[in-house]
Amino acid sequence: MTAYFLPAEEKLAIERLRAHGIVLERMERTATLALKEFRIAATETTAQVSENHQERTVTGQYVALEREVPVGSYRVPMNQRLARLAFHLLEPRSSDGLLTWNVLDEAIKRSTYPIHRTRD
């Protein structure tokens, strides 16, 4: 089953997902998983401010890897009622997602999108 994984330190992203009614499951133990990580090649923000934000877009690609997901991380299962909304909010290239609206600006300074997804 497809799922997304968020680090526990992404508190604002977790808060926004919960505010939308998206189900998150806290990881009770560390797990090594086959995941996809989005590596950012370029990022750009609009010059115009909209609703107190500068919309962000990114280019890049997913890379398959094995990653340890630590205890306390959050899993977003995609077999839930709001799976389409979760997908739209979590995908890095979404036109109206968390990245677009600057929720993850600090996290992407590492050139890697902080939210991973299971391999298809």
pLDDT in tens, 25-69: 999 999 999 999 999 999 998 888 878 888 999 999 999 999 999
The answer to whether 87 touches 115, Cβ cutoff 8 Å, is no
Predicted local distance difference test score (pLDDT) of residue 110: 77
Predicted local distance difference test score (pLDDT) of residue 120: 66
Predicted local distance difference test score (pLDDT) of residue 18: 98
Mean pLDDT, the chain, whole residue set: 94
Cα(48)–Cα(55) distance, rounded to whole angstroms?
8
Cα(81)–Cα(49) distance, rounded to whole angstroms?
33
